[in-house]
Structures are given as C-alpha cells and as structure tokens.
Chain A
Amino acid sequence: MSALLFLLAAVAVLAVWAVAIYNGLIGLRNRCENAWSQVDVQLKRRYDLIPNLVETVKGYAKHEREVFEKVTQARTAAINAANVKDQGLAENQLAGALKSLFAVAEAYPDLKANQNFLMLQEELAGTEGKIAYARQFYNDTVMKFNQKQQIFPSNIIAGMFRFQLREYFELEEPAAKEPVKVQF
C-alpha cells in the first residue's frame, strides 16, 4: 500500500516537473518570436523615415537625382526581400545609399542647419541603433532557447515534444560584413 502511494507521489512530482519544463520551453519560443517581430518593427520604422528624409534633402539639393534614386531603389528592394538573406543584402545596400545621401548633404550648409533634417538624421541613427539592439536581443533569446533544448534534463522534454533549434541572425555573405565603400 505504502509502496503504491510512494510510486504515485513520484509520478506526480515527475509530471509537475515535466509540465514546468515544457512551459518554460514554450515561453522561450514565444520570446524568440516576439524578439524577431521587434526587429521587424524597427525595420519598418526605418523604411517609413526614408521618404521623408529624401523629400527634405530634395528641397535643398535638387540636382542629386542619382543619389535619391539609389536610396529609393534600395528601400524598395529591402521591403520586398523574400527571405532573410536577401533582406540582409538589400539592407546593406540601403545603408550604403543612405551614407552617400548624408555625404551629399554635407555640401549644403542650409540643409545641415535645417531643423527637420537634423531631427530625421537623429531619428535614423537612433533607429539603426535599435535595429542592431533588437537583433542582438533576438540572438540572446535564441541562445537561451537553444541552450535549454540542449542541456540535461530539459533536453529530454524538448526531444519528446520535438522542439526545433532556432537559427541565429547573422550576416552570411562575407561582403556584407565589410563596411561599404562610398565612392564619388
């Protein structure tokens, strides 16, 4: 009788433990999703800022059409990118195009003193920082999630319910890791 009770108690403890680990894994998976959508939020914010910026610069520097086109094209390419890898490349082109846009702005003192332009510049720098931090946080969260799937004893539960390891965000192309060269 007491042996049966003991067995029941052991099973109950095991069940509670398994539920706790399972819930922990689900929580981490959702946090990964959330962290990834944070990146998208910031990327979208940047795409929204760019047309305003281009318009402001156009008001002072009408003749730099080539630069404006480059920025607009890179933005469209980045928005329409089908997968993460393409997006990474398009993002990089966009960053390069924006750099040349700001280089152009250097030649127009009136523009550099424009309050609206200064605000957009700060906004863009801030958003770029946030994109980087959002990606970093995504990778931190993925590391926690993957680690929980791999270490004992939570790996047993993860294996039973077929949790998948998540991929880190990284820039795959070696060229994308190098700073963009701007030539005039």
Chain B
Amino acid sequence: MYEQIARNKRRSALIFAFFLLLIFFLAAAFGELTGMGTGGLVFAALIAGGLSFLSYWKSDAIVLAISRAKPVTKEEYPFLDNVVEGLAIAAGVPKPRCYVIDDTAPNAFATGRDPAHSVICVTTGLLQKMNRVELEGVVAHEMSHIKNFDVRLQTLAVVMVGIIALLSDWIMRSLWWGGRGRRSSRSGKSGNAGSILLVVGIFFAIFGPIIAHLLRLAVSRRREFLADASAAMLTRYPPGLASALRKIAEDKEPLEAANKATAHLYIVNPLKDLKGAVNRLFSTHPPVEERIAALEKM
C-alpha cells in the first residue's frame, strides 16, 4: 500500500521532469529554427515552466473540462454526496468534490493531484442505474485511486502526454509549411529545410516510444485490480462492486465525453469498441469478467 503510493509519486515526478525537459527542448528547437537566437531560450524556459505549472496544478480542471463535467451540490444530488462522504470517512481522506457528467452511459472516474484536492466524477446514467450498494462499490473504487495517488499519476499522464502530442503536431506542421515557404522564395535553401525535417523525424522516432512508455507507466492493469480489492476493503461488501461492474459492462452505450486520452481514467473502459487489434493493444482495463471473478473470490 505505502509502497504503491511511493511508486506512484516517484513515477509522477519522473513524468513531470521528463515533460519539463521535453517542452524546454521543443520550445528551444522551435526558437532556434525560427531564428529567435538567445531570446528563444528564455522563451523556451518560460513556455516549459508555464505549461508544467499549468499541467500540475490545473490538470484536474483540464480533465474535467474535456469530459464536460459540472460541479454539483449536496442539494442537487444528495444520494451521490452522502455516498462519497461516507466512503471518504471510511478511507480516512478529506471528502472529494463531486462532479457529474450529463450522459446516460454509466461510468465514473476520479482526478486530482492529491487526496486534499481530489474530485470524483460520475455520469447521471450511473446515478440512475445503480442502487446504494453498487454506487458505494464504484465510489469506493475511485476513493482507492485517490488514496493511492493513482489519480495524480494518471491525470498528469493524460494532460502532459496530450500537450506533448499537440505541440509536436504543431511544430511538425509549422516546419513543414515554413520549409516549403523558404524553398519557394530561396531555392538555394531547400537542402536546409529537408535536413530540418529529417532531424525532427529522428527526434520523434526517438521520443515516440518513450512517450508511449510513460503512458504505460500510468495505465497498469494491476492498478485496477488493486483498486477493486481496496474498494472491497472499504465497503466490506465485494458483491456490490461486482454487480456494479457487471451493469456498467452490460450497458452498450458509449460515453460521448470520453476519448482515447481520458479513457484510462474511467472505472470501466468507456469507449466500448474493443474490436480491432490496435484497440486491444492499447486496452487500459483488464477484462471486466476477470475483475468480477476476483471480487467474487474474496
């Protein structure tokens, strides 16, 4: 348990450091290529610092905004609020804030950088379809992610890998168009633009696998089994979560607000279309049947 927390914190720090360096490097390269000189380095440092700050302190807000989640009060959703507060007491953590996604597909996720700044987010479909023990099971699973610091690692991974993907895309594009522009005006420089593209290509060939590896650090399947087991410890009633998982898995409706980047945050994969080989390769959740079987053995 404590080992798990330490490992999660270490991995979060690793992702953070890698992100800071990479952004700095990307921004510096961008400045160099566009001819900003030493001013480019300052610019790079500012961008790297700003983005890192943003993604550490605001990652939960970013994830919630992407998922179109809204904060709710106790008066609006007393059922959810009571269950969340009860399990926060059981886990001995401060009560997370409650958010709701207006979608009939039942699902839930947790986010935040530590237990004191955490959020539990559920869909309206989950609230309609679950009874009290099932909702307690789901919330207990999310509470375990919060207590283990899984949420910090996973949320950082979503936001930082997302920003890197976005930036690399942007740089590639600007290089492409920039190169073409230069080529047409000064034909003598065309070799230069070609070599820049080559360098960028090599750069992403090197960093692509590293980024993929970082994502894999955050989405281990063992993490889900562990959270299920801790949830059973919190509620002392494994059948509740098992029945909730079954209901969520049987629901065929995809969750519209979820995408490939945020899918691994949810309690059950919200994308549903697990047909293709590529999708299975990137599958972030162990099969629900295995999880239910593990819960039933407890």
Contact = CB atoms under 8 A, between A and B. Distances in A.
Interface of A: 31, 35, 38, 42, 119, 122-123, 125-127, 129-130, 132-134, 136-137, 140-141
Contacts of B86: 126, 129-130, 132-133
B236 A130 contact: no
B103 interface: no
Contacts of A136: 90, 236
Given A126-B83, A126-B85, A137 B90 contact: yes
Interface in B48-84: 78-79, 81-83
12 contacts: A35-B92, A42-B89, A119-B78, A123-B78, A123-B82, A125-B82, A126-B79, A133-B87, A136-B90, A136-B236, A137-B92, A140-B92
3 shortest interchain CB distances as A-B pairs: A126-B82, A133-B90, A129-B86
Interface string B134-177: 00100000000000000000000000000000000000000000
A35 B93 CA distance: 12
Contacts of B272: none
A122 B82 contact: yes
Q: Looking at chain A's contact residues, is the secondary structure mostly helix, strand, loop, or mixed?
A: helix
B132 interface: yes
A140 B132 CA distance: 23
B142 to A, nearest CB: 15
B193 to A, nearest CB: 62
A125 B89 contact: no
A133 B83 CA distance: 10
A130 B85 contact: yes
A45 to B, nearest CB: 11
Contact of A130 (B79, B89, B91, B132): B89
A126 B78 contact: yes
A66 B115 CA distance: 47
A141 B90 CA distance: 10
Contact residue range for chain B? 10 to 19
Contacts of B91: 137
A42 B91 CA distance: 16
A42 B83 CA distance: 13
A131 to B, nearest CB: 9
A150 to B, nearest CB: 19
Contacts of A134: 89-90
B244 to A, nearest CB: 16
B78 A129 contact: no
B89 A133 contact: yes
Contacts of B87: 133
Contacts of A35: 92
B83 A141 contact: no
A38 B86 CA distance: 11
A133 B86 CA distance: 6
A129 B235 CA distance: 10
Contacts of A123: 78, 82
A132 B83 CA distance: 12
Nearest to A121: B78
A127 B89 CA distance: 11
Nearest to B92: A137
A171 to B, nearest CB: 15
A180 to B, nearest CB: 19
B89 A137 contact: yes
A33 to B, nearest CB: 13
Given A129-B83, A130-B85, A136-B236, A122 B78 contact: yes
B127 to A, nearest CB: 12
